[in-house]
Chains A and B, each alone.
Chain A
Amino acid sequence: MSNKPSEYRLSTQGLTKHYPGTIACQDIDLTIQPGEIHALLGENGAGKSTLVKMIYGVTAPTRGQIFWEGRPVVLRSPAMARELGIGMVFQDFALFESLRVVENVALALPKREPHRVLAKRIQTVSERYGLPIDPEKPVGSLSVGERQRVEIVRSLLQTPRLLIMDEPTSVLAPQAVERLFETLRQIAAEGCSVLYISHKLHEIRALCDRATVLRQGRVTGTCTPADETAGNLARMMIGQALPVVNRPPSKVADVALAVNTPRISSGDEHEVGLEALSFSVSRGEILGIAGISGNGQGELLRLLSGERLAPSADAIRINGEPVGQYGVAKRRERGMAYIPEDRRGQATVADLPLTDNATLTAINTQPITQYGLMRHAAIQAFTQRCIEIYQVVCSGSQAPARSLSGGNLQKFVVGRELLQMPQLLVCAQPTWGVDVGAAAFIRQKLLDLRSEQTAIVVISEEIEELFEISDRIAVIADGRLSPIRSVADSSYEQVGLWMSGLWDSEGALNA
């Protein structure tokens, strides 16, 4: 096979990026053909985003060369990359919320255009690719899915020849994912190359023509994903077979958490409130709550954890005791543990050592204080136990929380809560941004805790994860909780449909 750069839309040779103390990318060779959908597959921290940043001109490579249609290029800024015809759809969006859609698009275009003309063009393109958007709406009022459409349409208006998509499906319901894939295939058929970044194997096998797999900053293989088994891809991605989670049958005991609240409006107008809720979770079972972020999960978590008090004491009961008017500490004293969504800001204090971070929640349940004074030996022992049992990679119990990688910090947070042997665990996004190996480990630990007769509520955006560990599953959409069904009676498709809030019509059909 010849490796002449001129055959490719984009290629890189020996592209390397070193940060102080770490190698983000090492000798990356990547080739993308015209009209090809090329996957960049790898775990968090494998170097995908660094590589893309170099291609999009955000970060300068330490060494190595990028070729654009055969010519060597040096990309000093995103502006230069865009001039060449490289467009990018960002995972966390590069949109201005206070501006209207048409203004957002206008800012990204090189030439001035009257708004009316531009709005027409937006409409035309959005219809052509099946991405309906209203150009006059302010971006702040759009859902995440709509925002992504704005980003895609904005890129398409510049007729890119390479479109980079960074984890585009993390914010979409399954049906929307299917529609996005159709759009991408259409774009590719028209000759635009797509660089598709993801860690989801099934998506890549369904969509992409070729894949480049990264692990620890190096290319571990290039392949045609449709010809490979998921196991082979996983081996390239994580260096071993996909870990399997062992789930014993559940032994359900009495109710540990009972929730019965009226409608609660949200304190923040950017977040939806919660409709009336009524559900319970028993000891020894896991209740999974699926949903696309921003549909009331935040409010539900605050309500369950006690960060926000319920309207009345008996709205929330832990082991039968009304705790609705109790805050987090008092609920923790009654056997609740809580793993918030944001491990850096909420679950830990970045600058404090792990021992102090362990103390912050363990102080309610563990014998680590005496006469109001801290017992350092006991704290040290608890932290050490957490680090060992949960395989936290760190420089020791005195390491500040910020020095841990995302996956290791999450393992630490999970360990800290689980070691307190809670009777009720509320947790959000337990494996968000965590690599596959650590994610499987955490899921296994949650299942082990369930075998210890703990009641567990897991709120997650990953349907696969919920199906793997939950006993019963529900969906939260627009602040409303769907009926709860046992996992055995549910399917991905049905939960995906429910994620758009459509369970009523289905019920009507069945009735």
Chain B
Amino acid sequence: MDSGLIQEVVSATLLAGTPLIIAALGLLMNERAGVLNLGAEGMMSLGAVYGFIAALSFSSPVLGLAAGLMAGALVAGGFALLTITLQANQVASGLALAIFGVGLAGFVGKPYESQSLKAVGEWSIPLLVDIPWLGPIFFQQQPMVYLSWVLFGAVWWFLYRSRSGLLLRAVGEDPAAAHAIGRSVVGVRYLAVIFGGALCGLGGACLSIFYAPMWVEGLIAGRGWIALALVVFATWRPFRVLLGAYLFGGVLIAQLFLQGSGVKISVPSQLLSSLPYLATIIVLVLISRDSRRIRQHSPASLGRAFRADE
């Protein structure tokens, strides 16, 4: 394989993993606060369709991203109302949101299915792009890739360096104790869930505005579920989420290249298409077998409702 092809594959890998990173970082935050939102697939779908419509209508990818983000945040707000204030079961509510979001997105997006957006060009980062071989891979990318790196840095810093991040982790570990020392569990959880929804919506919008760039029903294709799995198998740590997402992107691109290369292989294409999902899960399971590590980093109250008066 020549070096140009490798550059191309790696570059495409970064691109393919990006929507997943954005969504998974959001989910990581809301799970760290102790809320399990299984509606990621629905929130990504809604973010993708509303982002696409806005980007098309206003001819502005930035407004498109904003619309996707808002859509995700809005439904997540509804989810928060149900599960945090009204104490509905988080798993059932999340599943409902997933189904509802995917369905609504298909319905809303029907008239827009045949239309396509102008692809957004790549941004070159001055100086860095001149690094031999690596420069063009990492620093001549679509803007969403840079956005995901900024988000990664921000989430990491917030979680491990800021006082609010400490509070977020504390609430996820033991909401009763956080309440007892006078902290607002409900407030923290609302913000975390809405942030998670916003990033899921943003991730979806990146998919329809930058990556595809178009809308068809089923565009998300299970990426919401993969993002949820990523967070768990990455044991709620941002850096592992990044690695897992790129692994997914890498296998996705590799099998596409393989299918497109004309090499004759006697494996059904459906099986090849499932490879990225399989590979991601298997690798993450293998690297996260240490039960002590998992316990140390996992939010102990995940999925459990919290009532103040008990």
A residues with CB within 8 A of B: 58-60, 77-83, 88, 90, 93-99, 103, 106-108, 112, 140, 154, 269
Contacts and interface: CB of A to CB of B under 8 A. Distances in A.
Most buried by B among A60, A106, A108: A108
Contacts of A60: 309
B92 interface: no
B31 interface: no
B169 A98 contact: yes
B240 interface: no
A58 B308 CA distance: 7
Given A94-B177, A99-B169, A103-B166, A78 B309 contact: no
Contacts of B166: 99, 103, 106-107
B177 A269 contact: no
Contacts of B174: 94-97
8 contacts: A78-B181, A95-B174, A95-B177, A96-B174, A99-B166, A99-B173, A107-B181, A269-B292
A88 B181 CA distance: 9
Interface in B275-310: 292, 296-297, 300, 308-309
A99 B170 contact: yes
Contacts of B180: 58, 78, 88, 90, 94
Contacts of A95: 174, 177
A140 B167 CA distance: 17
A58 B310 CA distance: 8
Contact of A58 (B170, B183, B309): B309
A80 B182 CA distance: 8
B264 interface: no
B183 to A, nearest CB: 7
Nearest to A79: B182
A79 B181 CA distance: 7
Given A77-B182, A79-B182, A90-B180, A96 B163 contact: no
A81 B182 CA distance: 8
Given A78-B181, A79-B183, 11 more contacts: A58-B179, A77-B179, A78-B182, A80-B182, A90-B180, A94-B176, A98-B300, A99-B169, A106-B163, A107-B166, A108-B181
A81 B180 CA distance: 10
B5 to A, nearest CB: 45
Interface of B: 163, 166-167, 169-170, 173-174, 176-184, 292, 296-297, 300, 308-309
A60 B167 CA distance: 25
Contacts of A78: 179-182
Contact of A97 (B163, B167, B173, B178): B173
Contacts of A80: 182
B173 A96 contact: yes
A94 B292 contact: no
Contacts of B308: 58, 77
A93 B181 CA distance: 11
A106 B178 CA distance: 12
Contact of A107 (B170, B176, B300): B170
Contact of B178 (A83, A93, A107): A107
Contacts of B292: 269
Nearest to A100: B166
Nearest to B173: A96
Nearest to B297: A98
Contacts of A58: 179-180, 308-309
Contacts of B167: 107
Nearest to A77: B182
Nearest to A78: B182
A82 B179 CA distance: 12
A185 to B, nearest CB: 25
A96 B180 CA distance: 12
Nearest to B167: A107
B35 to A, nearest CB: 17
A442 B309 CA distance: 33
Cβ-closest 10 pairs across A and B? A79-B182, A94-B177, A94-B180, A108-B181, A82-B182, A78-B182, A96-B170, A96-B173, A112-B163, A107-B170
Contacts of B183: 79, 107
Most buried by A among B182, B184, B300: B182
Given A78-B180, A94-B177, A59 B297 contact: no
A109 B180 CA distance: 13
Contact of B296 (A77, A79, A98, A103): A98
Given A103-B166, A106-B163, A106-B166, A98 B173 contact: yes
Nearest to A60: B309
Contacts of A94: 174, 176-178, 180-181
Contacts of B163: 106, 112
B158 to A, nearest CB: 14
Contacts of A103: 166, 170
A313 B176 CA distance: 45
Nearest to B292: A269
A88 B179 CA distance: 12
Contacts of A154: 181
A60 B309 CA distance: 8
A82 to B, nearest CB: 5
Nearest to A113: B163
B309 A59 contact: yes
Nearest to A90: B180
Contacts of A98: 169, 173, 296-297, 300
Nearest to A110: B182
Contacts of A93: 177
B195 to A, nearest CB: 20
B236 to A, nearest CB: 11
A390 B186 CA distance: 45
B184 to A, nearest CB: 8
Nearest to B178: A107
A132 B179 CA distance: 26
